[in-house]
Amino acid sequence: MLGEGILKGMAETARNFVGSYFSAERMTTVEYPEERIAPIEAARVFPFLVYDTENWEAGLRCVACQICEKECPPKCIFIEKSKDKKPDAIGKPQFYPTRFDIDISVCMSCQICVEVCPFEAIKMDNVFELATDDRFGGLLLDRKELAKSNEYYHGIHPTEAARVDARLAAEKVKADAKSTAAVVASAVKGAERPAPPAAGGV
């Protein structure tokens, strides 16, 4: 019968329309911004810099190795490396960035910087409500604006952060073992030689 197909289609639409009153499955839209869906843990928006201790400036994990700057596809990271070394969170002297800018109007949220960073210093944030009319003031983030604490990182990506912490802890144990071994070795050496040389470097 001509029109049968159309009627069948109409019945389908009616079923969906009525169904949307009864089943939450069929109501898929959310009235943003009054209503929000729960954030998805893996979601990534723009990068931020992780710091450990209380002080954001001293605790930055970033050692200004500039790998991320080189690998960033649209080249939106800008780093100036310090001339001197400063002790990092564990007390090891390291370079630090005197300037670390990310132009988030160019950044494409690709996460390459996170992947290539050998120091777990840069991670992805999930804040997305960043619209502003101030191109240079609001969208060029500097070191201070980028720095977020490790607790914050745990808050947004708990699983990933736990994995990272475990990795860092393991590394620290290894490094400690090495340095103790070094200390022991040098102590042995010192015992052999009557006059130990003055401590220089690390």
Partner 1 sequence: MTDTAFRREKMEEGWNRPPLIEEDGEAELLEVAMGPHHPSTHGVFRMDLALDGERVVRLKPVFGYLHRNHEKIAEGISYLASMPYTDRLDYICSLTNNWAYALAVEKLVGQQVPERAEYIRVILAEFTRIQNHASSIGFLIQEMGASGTPLMYAFREREKILDLFEELTGSRMMCNYMRFGGCRVDTSAAWLDAARKVVDGLPGFVDEFENLLSTNEILMARCQRVGILRPELAVNAGITGPMLRASGVNYDIRKVDHYGIYDRFKFRVPLGDHGDIYDRYMVRILEMRESITILNQALRDIPGGPIMDAKAKIRGFRPKPGEAYGRIEAPKGELGFYLISDGGPNPYRYRVRPPSLINLTVLEDMCLGSNVADVVLIFGSVDIVLGEVDR
Partner 2 sequence: MKTMEEIKAAIEAAAPGAGVEIVPNPSPSGQHSLRIAPSHAVAVATFLRDDAELALDFLSNVTGVDWLDKEVTEKVKVTSTVTKTVDDVEQDVEETVEETRKRVQPGCLEVVYHLFSSALKHGPVILRMKTMNRTDQVELPSLTPIWRSAEFQEREVFDLYGVVFKGHPDLRRLLMWDEFKDHPMRRDYVDPDDYEYEPTPHDAVLTRANAHKAAEEAKAREGTGAGL
Binding residues (CB under 6 A) for ligand SF4: these are: 47, 62-68, 72-74, 76-77, 79, 102, 107-113, 117, 119, 121-122
The CA distance from 64 to 117, in Å, is 10
Query: Residue 41's closest CA among 134, 143, 122, 125?
Result: 125
Q: Nearest approach, Cβ of 9 to partner 1 (angstroms)? A: 5
68 near 116, Cβ under 8 Å? yes
The CA distance from 118 to 68, in Å, is 9
The CA distance from 116 to 36, in Å, is 33
Which CB sits closer to partner 1, 113 or 139? Answer: 113
Q: What angle do CA 73, 77, 80 make, to 5 degrees?
A: 140
For tokens 């240079």, the residue is 136
Binding to partner 1 in span 99-138, by CB under 8 A:
108-112, 115-116, 118, 124
Count the site residues for partner 2 by CB under 8 A: 13
At 50, give phi and psi (nearest 5°): -90, 135
Look at residue 8 and give the partner it binds from partner 2, partner 1, ligand SF4, none, a contact being a CB closer than 5 to 8 Å depending on partner kind.
partner 1
Binding to partner 2 in span 59-78, by CB under 8 A:
74-78
Q: Up-side HSE of residue 176: CA atoms within 13 Å toward CB?
A: 8
Look at residue 43 and give the partner it binds from partner 2, partner 1, ligand SF4, none, a contact being a CB closer than 5 to 8 Å depending on partner kind.
partner 1
Would you tell me which residues interact with partner 2 (CB under 8 A)? Answer: 74-78, 101-103, 105-106, 136-137, 140
Contacts to partner 1 by CB under 8 A: 2-6, 8-9, 11-13, 16, 26, 28, 40-44, 67, 71-73, 108-112, 115-116, 118, 124
